[in-house]
Structure 1
Amino acid sequence: MYSRYFCLFCMWLFLPTQRRCTLGQKTDGDLHSSDTTSLPGFENLTMGYNKYLRPFFGGDPVQIAMSLDIASISSISESDMDYTATIYLRQRWTDPRLVFHGNKSFTLDARLVEFLWVPDTYIVESKRSFLHDVTVGNRLIRLFSNGTVLYALRITTTVACNMDLSKYPMDTQMCKLQLESWGYDGNDIVFTWLRGNDSVRGLENLRLSQYTVERYYTLVTRSQQETGNYPRLILHFELRRNVLYFILETYVPSTLLVILSWVSFWISLDSVPARTCIGVTTVLSMTTLMIGSRTSLSKTNCFIKAIDVYLGICFSFVFGALVEYAVAHYSSSQKCATQEPQQGSTKEYCKETEDVNIIDILNSSDSNYKRSISFTSIEISSDNVNYSDLTRKTHDKIKFALRNKMHRIINYFTIQNPSNVDHYSKLFFPLFFMLVNVFYWAYYLYF
């Protein structure tokens, strides 16, 4: 019985000593044992390691080297002016408290991140972000023997991108992905790209629905805030929109509608229903096309885009073709109304009769003017000259001269032959439309 109590006392006596060996420095037997479950250097996490203090606390700043893999850019929204991307963010730094002997590296369970110090990196101008957690949190911690820590994350983020849509859909957008320290300023942390521009991968292999990645480059800068001067890494990437879709969807239909409106120039003025139907149909079709083109960009109505300019040009030509017929038809009806009706006169006779010549009216007025001049000379040659009548006749001369000038101006703008309106429109509308297209495409593609 006494021997049993003695054994229990010995076990109680030596138990704290064994615990101190496992939590502190290991014995030589432990180092050479093959069944140990602890990692080399892992005991430093439980002895004297403070995760709330950065490496080199109170001394030199920590060098954080970063690299990115762009897995995908799922959507680019012009209405919200942002893009959504899935990235693999990798951060490397050296912590002298985690140095261990050997030349191996060890990958730890991601849940051990809670026991380590990690940088407080955040994505500038991020609207929404989340860390993937299927099947577990997509994080990686790897320790190297020299104290280097690799911390990798898989993040999906929606980042703001200020876009200039004045040349839409022939625009090129420059978006940014910015990484910055939230709490540590430049005295505590220094951000660098691991391999310069080669630190970013995946952009050259992306296939986007509406865009093509033209080029990208990296920058290292600092952000001056009220609370300090913080390090920042910037990735610039240029996106060029693929215009072929919009050419087939908008530009070709609107151009064909303009050409369709010119068909009315080859229809006679007597075919009122045919010409009116073509004009009204093309105007309504252009209106529908303009409304449809703005549906996807309903929140950016403040921008006057290139596609809006082109649709406005096409609408002006279509509406001008309709107005051209109204002018020609009105001029034709006015000419028929000024002719003297005859017995058995028909519409054809109205078209074939000669126009009222305004020169005849001016000649009759000129003869009246000469007759009044002769009367005035007779009165002046008489003995009794009436100066008041002379003054009144001078005013009549001025009124006659002004009336003559007005007749000439009206005659200049009067359409003598309404059928010539269609003849000139057949040539003027296509040539002017081609000229406007040359200036339009040259400006938005090269300027």
Structure 2
Amino acid sequence: MNYSLHLAFVCLSLFTERMCIQGNQFNVEVGRSDKLSLPGFENLTAGYNKFLRPNFGGEPVQIALTLDIASISSISESNMDYTATIYLRQRWMDQRLVFEGNKSFTLDARLVEFLWVPDTYIVESKKSFLHEVTVGNRLIRLFSNGTVLYALRITTTVACNMDLSKYPMDTQTCKLQLESWGYDGNDVEFTWLRGNDSVRGLEHLRLAQYTIERYFTLVTRSQQETGNYTRLVLQFELRRNVLYFILETYVPSTFLVVLSWVSFWISLDSVPARTCIGVTTVLSMTTLMIGSRTSLPNTNCFIKAIDVYLGICFSFVFGALLEYAVAHYSSLQQMAAKDRQKICYLYAA
């Protein structure tokens, strides 16, 4: 019995030791797999430090950007913002990643964690996210001369200050601004790769309420407390399509004004007819005014062009009803005066 227990203990000790050795080997292999090793150029990343930018301590890194606008899903006058899906592509030179040959290599997007990438962010962005279906929508491509291409697919909601004083016959100017979060102009310089041709997709977009009139790119400077930063600006103009508002608001309100004037051709003695027309047109105009304002609930503090137009129409409609009230009252007074004159003539006779 003691011999059996002793044998079982020895076997268990050997099995445990073997498992520990295999576990240590597995940990070593996992630790090695965390390092960036590319077949064919294993020495490419020897001594590479992803926490230091290219040319650290020297000339600033030149980062060239291009944009593809995939869609502009919504433009909100209430929140004064727009939501767009963009393909952001950045190119820069990193001499530490030069390798022999004239080929390029597209790497798994997860390897971006092992490379230095610029800390680009979208100025005035309210919320943004990187698409993750089916994997993170990122691309890393290395070229033999050390050029790195880094592409992202992003959906972002960006603030756009709108002037609604001419609504709905207005034209809005919105911006998409890109800037480095931490690197100032001494470390990173942003440029558009091909000027205005660096932006594509806007000319093909079809929006529900707007038409994109024109767009252009700018390179400006942003002076902040932490330094002087390069800022890339895409500025585009949106002209509102007014046909919907003509059919929905302007034509009905015009017809209501004309309808209120019909009462002028109705006899003063037809009290029900003229009163019905006047009250109906006033109530209908009130409904139109409320509907036009509830479509933009957070902008009621602005006096818009459509408010002025509907206000004038309401004045005409209400004036027609008020005119009948004054005319009817004046007619009754004249009839009463005539009756008094007849009575006076009778007494005098």
TM-score for the superposition, normalised by structure 2: 0.86
Q: Deviations over 1:182-228 (max 9, x none)?
A: 00000000000000000000000000000000000000011000110
The residue aligned with 2:174 is 175
The residue aligned with 2:136 is 137
The residue aligned with 2:285 is 286
* Residue 40 of structure 1, CA deviation: 3.7
Output the amino acid matched with 1:267. I
Structure 1 Cα separation of the partners of residues 268 and 138 of structure 2: 77
In terms of fraction of residues, the more strand-rich structure is 2
In terms of fraction of residues, the more helix-rich structure is 1
* Residue 340 of structure 1, CA deviation: 4.1
Note the residue ranges of structure 1 that are not aligned, 5 or more in a row: 1-22, 24-36, 346-352, 354-447
* Residue 38 of structure 1, CA deviation: 4.0
Q: Deviations over 1:246-276 (max 9, x none)?
A: 0000000000000110110011001111111
Q: Deviations over 1:395-422 (max 9, x none)?
A: xxxxxxxxxxxxxxxxxxxxxxxxxxxx
Within 5 A, what are the aligned runs for 1:65-76?
65-76=64-75
* Residue 92 of structure 1, CA deviation: 0.1
The residue aligned with 2:260 is 261
Structure 2 Cα separation of the partners of residues 177 and 292 of structure 1: 32
Output the amino acid matched with 2:75. I
SS of 1:337 mapped into structure 2: helix
The residue aligned with 1:100 is 99
Output the amino acid matched with 1:107. T
Contact 1:40-1:101 at 8 Å conserved across structures: no
The residue aligned with 1:15 is none
Within 5 A, what are the aligned runs for 1:231-242?
231-242=230-241
Structure 1 Cα separation of the partners of residues 216 and 134 of structure 2: 34
* Residue 80 of structure 1, CA deviation: 0.1
Number of equivalenced pairs: 309
Question: Are 2:334 and 1:335 equivalent residues in the alignment?
Answer: yes
* Residue 49 of structure 1, CA deviation: 0.2
* Residue 302 of structure 1, CA deviation: 0.9
* Residue 336 of structure 1, CA deviation: 1.4
The residue aligned with 2:150 is 151
Name the structure, 1 or 2, with higher relative contact order (CA <8 Å, separation 6+): 2
Structure 2 Cα separation of the partners of residues 294 and 269 of structure 1: 36
Output the amino acid matched with 1:320. G
Output the amino acid matched with 1:198. D
Q: Deviations over 1:311-334 (max 9, x none)?
A: 001000000000111111111111
Contact 1:223-1:229 at 8 Å conserved across structures: yes
Structure 2 Cα separation of the partners of residues 57 and 241 of structure 1: 48
Output the amino acid matched with 1:98. L
Structure 2 Cα separation of the partners of residues 142 and 201 of structure 1: 21
Aligned-residue CA RMSD (Å): 1.5
* Residue 342 of structure 1, CA deviation: 8.2
Note the residue ranges of structure 2 that are not aligned, 5 or more in a row: 1-31
Within 5 A, what are the aligned runs for 1:21-420?
38-45=38-45, 47-341=46-340
Q: Deviations over 1:41-83 (max 9, x none)?
A: 35322x1000000000000000000000000000000000000
Structure 2 Cα separation of the partners of residues 184 and 84 of structure 1: 27
The residue aligned with 1:29 is none
Contact 1:41-1:99 at 8 Å conserved across structures: no
Structure 2 Cα separation of the partners of residues 105 and 291 of structure 1: 61
